[in-house]
Amino acid sequence: MTLLYEGKAKQLYTTDNAEELRLVYKNDATAFNGGKHDVLHGKGELNNAISTLFFEVLEEEDVQTHFIKKISDTEQLVRPTRIIPLEVVVRNITAGSLARRLGWEEGKALSEPIVEWYYKDDALGDPLVNEDHIAALGVAKVEELEEMRMRALHVNNILVDLCWKANLLLVDFKLEFGLQDDGTLLLADEVSPDTCRFWDSETKEKMDKDLYRYGLGSLQAGYENILSRIGGVVYD
């Protein structure tokens, strides 16, 4: 089968069905736009399991996603889309680049979630952009932006609730959306500790990719902890 795309942590292959693609989660961990790179045994499996669980919950809540099903420890079947080259970041608590950019202390709860847009371009280091930049770049229509913003906030509500039940704080996360041939907008990519920040609700211990980014401890131990917590959540 043909390799359609290879990213830092995933590969996308065709299948013999034009309506389905095979998404493979790799063991590669990268940070700082590829400046740090390691292969971490078991990471692909953990991210596939966690992302599957989140996509299943989102689908149950009527969020339209590219996810079809998990087909092996490291693979999912997904629907083909044309990825809009924007990263949609939603933040509930100050951390990461927001804290750095505005000189804010990490760990402060925001009274309302903040939505940010980043233009997906490795050579430029995925710069922060606003709606006017996006219009000038011509990568998404105004209506699509509004739809992505609403969907991202809806996803935030669902995931914050799920995390709360799992004794986790959802600090922030990044989403990507894709368009099907008929113009239907689907949540795509992955929802995992590679793309979300999760802290223990009480101790504020970090359990996401920041463990790897800043050398704070074992990435796999953090991801296993998240999986066991959300796997134990009872959904109503």
- The interface mask with ligand C5P, positions 186-205, x = CB under 6 A, is ---------xxx--------
Nearer Cβ to ligand C5P (31/71): 31
State the binding string over 141-170 for ligand C5P (x if CB under 6 A, else -).
Answer: ------------------------------
Q: Could you count the other beta carbons within 10 Å of the beta carbon of residue 142?
A: 10
Between the alpha carbon of residue 143 and those of residues 148, 188, 218, the distances in Å are 9, 18, 42
CA 174 distance to own-chain centroid: 5
Residue span 93-112 as binding mask against ligand C5P, x where in contact by CB under 6 A, dash where not? --xxxx--------------
Residue 174 contacts ligand C5P per CB under 6 A? yes
Among 54, 55, 173, 223, binds ligand C5P (CB under 6 A): 173
* Least distance in angstroms from the C-beta of 60 to ligand C5P: 23
In whole angstroms, the minimum distance from the beta carbon of 95 to ligand C5P comes to: 6
Minimum CB distance to ligand C5P smaller for 103 or for 183: 103
Neighbours of 169 (CB within 10 A): 19
For residue 220, the minimal CB distance to ligand C5P (Å) is 17
Number of residues counted as binding ligand C5P (CB under 6 A): 14
Establish if 126 lies at the interface with ligand C5P (CB under 6 A). Answer: yes
Q: Which residues bind ligand C5P (CB under 6 A)?
A: 87, 89, 95-98, 126, 172-174, 195-197, 209
